[in-house]
Structure 1
Amino acid sequence: MEPDGGEPARENSPGRSIVVVAHNIRSTHNVGSLLRTGSVFAIDHVHVTGFTPYPAYEQDPRDPKLRDLQTRRLAKAAAGAERTMPFTRHEDVVALLDALRADGYAVAGLEIDPAAVPLGEHTPGGKVALLLGDEVRGIEPEMRERCDVLLQIPMFGHKDSLNVSVAAGIALYSLRTS
């Protein structure tokens, strides 16, 4: 686990504790949008794993050019949330999920999957860790097995998938207001 970025979570976060695990998200714009959306829905923390880009933080080990480029790109969508949303970079997603579960979080993967529960039919508990996966392949099968529940957004139109940051916004709204 690497140092935290952002500010401490809000004391008055309504209802339940929600954290996001952004695993192998490719797009800096998706990460920026996720940070901004997370701020809107008062999530407590964003955990970034795999190759997910993240904002610069003190003692950031990345090459300065890469760090600055990724931070600039995600800042366009984050609209300031890159400086205020608490986040932590983790090397090991499995260890992170185990630690969150040990802390009382139910791990909910957001995925199109035959075993997934429609989002509106799920009643979340007091602590939820929302796992998001790669924009192209989603959550890897071995990571799906590590989830306590898989959630799916019902699709009614011609398309059968959403952008990961849009899907996260829908899921976070549902988790916050259920």
Structure 2
Amino acid sequence: MITSAKNEKIKALRKLHKKKGRTETGSFLVEGSHLVEEARKSDWTILEIIAQDSVDLPKWCEELPLTFVTEQVFQQISQTKSPQGIAAVVEMKEATVDLENHLLLLDGIQDPGNLGTMIRTADAAGFGGIILGSGTVDLYNDKVVRATQGSLFHIPIKNGHLEAEIEQLKENEYTVWATSLQNAQNYGDSNKDNKVALIVGNEGAGVQQVLQEKADKIVKIPIYGEAESLNVSIAAGILMYYIKG
């Protein structure tokens, strides 16, 4: 039982709140019974369970390294307003995307909620994977992890240089779609291709021009009201379900 937030293990766990600490250890924190259970059901490796002393744990937790802490100490580890008293340290994993299925490419997505939502939606839509381009928020940011609702553990996600990735995908017979509000056709007027790599871009700037130039199609979602544009995660969801349908 750890009773002090000054304990070295607790200090090490708190370092996982920052990208630097996650990168140095190759691990990240997931918090809450649902996310911990989703990690367990996947092929990701749980390194350790951290639990508040008063919490009832599933039986399987006893099979893993298990550390108990007081409620006050758990609050030092937690990054949520109402902690559930269970967290896990999970080993990072670089995935291999499914090159026989549609893919989502993300160019400079900065909002953690948007990234997490798109991961969850791509999982729900049955996409074969996600490639994160430079400038995209860290996959293991706690807000991203929570917003995925566990889909992080169920769809392959990797980091990549999107210009090079697009070239390789074209060699693998992908049709590349990029989103833009300018010089674009309505997505509903586009034929559904066998294998689509869909690029969506930064919340403010959109998809980089250099990536648009590499795309086979530039598509947009028509706006019928007064809004200037759609939230990027909403737009990605509409397009992924159209492509998959």
1:74 aligned onto 2:144: yes
Q: What's the offset of the Cα at 1:154? A: 0.6
When the two structures are aligned, how many residues end up with a matched partner?
152
For residues 95-131 of structure 1, give each alpha carbon's deviation from its aligned partner in whole angstroms, at most 9, with x where no partner exists: 1110111111111002211x21101111121010001
Partner of 2:131: 47
Residue identity opposite 1:26 in structure 2 = Q
In structure 2, C-alpha distance between the alignment counterparts of 1:4 and 1:111, rounded to whole Å: 29
Unaligned runs of 5+ in 1: 10-15, 57-69
Question: Secondary structure at 1:165's aligned position in 2?
Answer: helix
Q: What's the offset of the Cα at 1:8? A: 7.1
Matched residues, percent identical? 24
In structure 2, C-alpha distance between the alignment counterparts of 1:124 and 1:8, rounded to whole Å: 20
Unaligned runs of 5+ in 2: 1-92
In structure 1, C-alpha distance between the alignment counterparts of 2:153 and 2:111, rounded to whole Å: 18
TM normalised by structure 1 equals: 0.80
Runs of 4+ in 1 over 3 A off after TM superposition: none
1:37 aligned onto 2:106: no
Question: Secondary structure at 1:136's aligned position in 2?
Answer: coil
TM normalised by structure 2 equals: 0.59
Residue identity opposite 2:159 in structure 1 = R
* Higher radius of gyration, 1 or 2: 2
8 Å CA contact 1:109, 1:132 repeated in 2: yes
Question: Secondary structure at 1:145's aligned position in 2?
Answer: helix
Structure number with the bigger relative contact order (C-alpha 8 A, sep ≥ 6) is 1
Q: 1:54 to 1:84 in 2, by over 3 A?
A: farther
